[in-house]
A and B are shown apart, each in its own frame.
Chain A
Amino acid sequence: MSITIEKNKAERKPGLRTEEMVLNMGPQHPSTHGVLRLELELEGEIIINAIPHIGYLHRCFEKHAEAMNYSQVIPYTDRMDYLASMYNEFGYAIAVEKLLGIQVPERVEYIRVIMGELQRIASHLVALGTYAVDIGAFTPFLFCFRDREKILSLFEQTCGARLLYNYIWVGGLSHDLHPDFVNQTNEFIKYFRPKIKELNDLLTKNKIFIDRTANVGVLPLDVAINYGISGPNLRGSGFKWDIRKDDPYSVYNKFDFDIPVGEGLMGKVGDCWDRYYVRILEMEESLKIIEQAVNNLPEGDVTSAIPKRIKPPVGQVYSRVENPRGELGYFIISDGSINPFRVKVKGPSFVHLGVLNEILKGHMIADVIAILGSIDIVLGEVDR
């Protein structure tokens, strides 16, 4: 990074000289979505360099995990990506199950998928809503939160918690579903489909919104892959890649759904609008999956396969799932004891933040917000 600054200085013509202004955006800033500090070097309002500083929420999850046994780690995974807690547990449970080599009952898999997809919708609603606020529209934000509330109520009914669930355990689930869950989920699907259209009318097709997001923050596909970008951001760049399809886990191969990709409808492929729109389309796909899963829910016991004592053999596993934000990977090394020897989390937000400097250069301050919002990071997971 220091090399680029030197180059910029050398290119400047002699004579009248101006200095860049260094603007610290964050850690306390309404639009950094948490405690992120961006050090922006500005010329007027144009950004010539942006350096993210992270770690303000660092709790050293990985060190904690080494001191606990396998099932005690689950509540800690909740607290990483606190907007997608279900999926964090899901990913962790799958990784440990691979290590143990156990098979879970089909009902458990179905419920996990339902919960995961509901969580995906809830998480995308927060992403889209806060993105609207970043762009300056307040109303869509509250509409999104109104709908997310319904999902949180479903979660609350299922496991008693609204944000940090501790619901998906290694080998099973903590509780079975509420008897009325299927009904209520079907009602939610019926309620939510028109709301996506409402959001489209209010925000997606708005001229000002398109002006603000189309052709802004274009992330080319080769750069995206090289930076390890995944999830909606990678699909926004036009690459049909989804771990649910390309490296299926759980029972995802039993459902019929599409993978939406950015097509550059309003501008170049991979701009902020594409990333935003992919999330909107993904919500509809998630609804499809939930609908299929909820109506074909197998009977069975959800706690039967939970091992009494989790003591995996010596070995290691890298297991990944498609979190709402992208590829969430757990790398677990077991030394044969009841505590994991090493747990490394590859969080999508951490990875996505790394590409920020690449796409910010040459944009204006207002675009920093638009771009940061469109890559949708959760600082709890960046800092872990």
Chain B
Amino acid sequence: MKTTEEIFTILKNNFGDAILELVTSQPVEHFIKVNPIEINKVCLFLRENEELLFDSLMNLSGVDDANGQKSADEDGTQIISGGTLSVFYHLESTKLRHKLTLKVSTDREKPEVASVESTWRHADWHEREAYDLLGIIFLNHPDLRRILMPYDWDAGYPLRKDYKNPEFYQGMKVPY
């Protein structure tokens, strides 16, 4: 069993700059911020390292941080420009019984995160979901398609805070 602080030290020694910071300011959960492009290497290390053995990805969730420039268009809808989108990784080791939370933040205009699909196949559908609902592009994902929304949905990503329902989808009126 290792605490987040100990794991942070191990990761810092191995990856250096790719590990950004350890966030302990919030109650309940502490997490480690990681560089989005290096996350796949970090995760592979976390799974393979004898002391860590994070063999299970509990959850992967994308979040719209809504921390950019906020403005309103003519009919009052919020538009956010700039800021970040984040992905949280909740890991667990079923052998060593410890848990870890990782966070990556990526640019909202060009949201690119390395895929951890090859480390945990579990991430496959969760990454597709994050792509579908938030528009986060997972680099090297083998099959990055929409999953919950229709394949031909072109009105944006619903979970973004500034998402606006389209008037029509395939000729059908959407707000009913």
Q: Which residues of A contact B (CB under 8 A)?
A: 1-3, 54-55, 58, 60, 62-63, 66, 98-99, 101, 223, 225-228, 239, 241, 246, 313-318, 320, 327, 329, 331, 333, 341-342, 344, 346, 350-351, 353-355, 358, 383-384
Contact = CB atoms under 8 A, between A and B. Distances in A.
A374 B57 CA distance: 23
B155 to A, nearest CB: 13
Given A226-B56, A317-B28, A318-B29, 11 more contacts: A2-B143, A55-B147, A63-B158, A63-B163, A101-B28, A228-B120, A318-B101, A329-B58, A342-B61, A344-B62, A351-B122
B59 interface: yes
A99 B26 CA distance: 10
A320 B28 contact: no
> Lowest 7 CB-CB distances: which A-B pairs, in order?
A228-B122, A344-B61, A315-B26, A55-B148, A346-B59, A58-B148, A354-B125
A344 B101 CA distance: 15
A62 to B, nearest CB: 6
Interface string B37-71: 00000000000000000011111011110000000
A314 B29 contact: no
8 contacts: A63-B159, A101-B28, A314-B26, A316-B31, A318-B101, A344-B61, A351-B122, A354-B125
A228 B62 CA distance: 18
Given A62-B133, A228-B57, A351-B125, A333 B120 contact: no
Contacts of B94: 225, 239, 241
Contacts of A99: 27-28
A265 B159 CA distance: 46
Interface of B: 26-29, 31, 55-59, 61-64, 88, 90, 94, 97, 101, 120-122, 124-126, 133, 142-143, 146-150, 158-159, 161, 163
Contacts of A3: 142
Contacts of A353: 125
B20 to A, nearest CB: 17
A354 B158 contact: no
Contacts, number: 102
A316 B28 contact: yes
A44 to B, nearest CB: 26
Contact of B29 (A228, A317, A342, A351): A317
A64 to B, nearest CB: 11
B74 to A, nearest CB: 22
B158 A318 contact: no
A336 B145 CA distance: 34
A354 B121 contact: yes
Contacts of B97: 246
Nearest to A342: B63
A2 B147 CA distance: 16
A241 B61 CA distance: 23
A384 B101 CA distance: 24
A177 B101 CA distance: 39
A218 B124 CA distance: 21
A315 B30 CA distance: 9
Contacts of B147: 54-55
A299 B58 CA distance: 36
A32 to B, nearest CB: 17
Contacts of B90: 318, 329, 331
Nearest to B150: A55
A346 B58 contact: yes
A306 B47 CA distance: 41
A99 to B, nearest CB: 6
Contacts of A228: 56-58, 120-122
A101 B142 CA distance: 41
A60 B158 contact: yes
B109 to A, nearest CB: 20
A229 B15 CA distance: 30
A217 B125 CA distance: 21
B28 A54 contact: no
Contacts of B88: 316, 318, 331
Contacts of A318: 29, 58-59, 88, 90, 101
